[in-house]
């Protein structure tokens, strides 16, 4: 937090000087960054906070985000209709590990129905242009 606040303060030094008002666009971020430094120091100084360990991080949780980001990246190249069923199928199988015939059937059903539902809802009814194959 302290480092982030200091970086923001430093970055604010490169913002253009005030033009139409006396405060300028750097004023507010500097106020906030300063407040954050104070808060951060108070938090560090409070012994209570040090005595309380954070809950452990779970790597699997970050896997969800990694898979999600990979899905978005793939969607840019291969389009919503092609990537979404694969993403849903793979996610359902992974989260329902160990795989079984029933899980695979569930995954396949959800992949097809989910993709068709969302495509119809967004692309056809709400006229949202979902990413298409590159």
- Chain residues binding another protein by CB under 8 A are 1, 4, 8, 11, 15-16, 19-25, 27-29, 32-33, 35-36, 39-40, 42-43, 46, 48-49, 52, 54-58, 60-65, 68-69, 71-72, 75-76, 80, 84, 87-88, 91-92, 95-97, 103, 106, 110, 114, 118, 121-122, 126-131
Least separation in angstroms between CB 114 and another protein: 6
Least separation in angstroms between CB 134 and another protein: 12
User: 54 phi and psi, to 5 degrees?
Assistant: -70, 155
User: 89 phi and psi, to 5 degrees?
Assistant: -60, -50
Residue 6 to residue 42: CA distance in whole angstroms:
15
What letter would DSSP give residue 125? I
Contact 98, 45 (CB under 8 A): no
Residue 106, both tokens: 């569930």
Least separation in angstroms between CB 33 and another protein: 7
């Amino acid at each position: 937090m302290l480092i982030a606040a200091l970086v923001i303060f430093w970055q604010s030094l490169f913002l253009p000087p005030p033009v139409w008002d006396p405060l300028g666009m750097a004023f507010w971020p500097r106020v906030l960054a300063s407040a954050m430094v104070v808060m951060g120091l108070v938090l560090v100084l409070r012994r209570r906070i040090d005595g309380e360990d954070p809950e452990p991080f779970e790597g699997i949780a970050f896997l969800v985000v990694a898979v999600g980001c990979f899905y978005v990246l793939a969607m840019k190249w291969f389009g919503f209709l092609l990537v979404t069923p694969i993403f849903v199928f793979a996610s359902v199988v992974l989260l329902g590990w160990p795989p079984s015939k029933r899980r695979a059937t569930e995954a396949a059903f959800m992949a097809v129905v989910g993709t068709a539902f969302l495509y119809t809802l967004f692309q056809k009814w709400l006229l949202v242009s979902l990413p298409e194959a590159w």
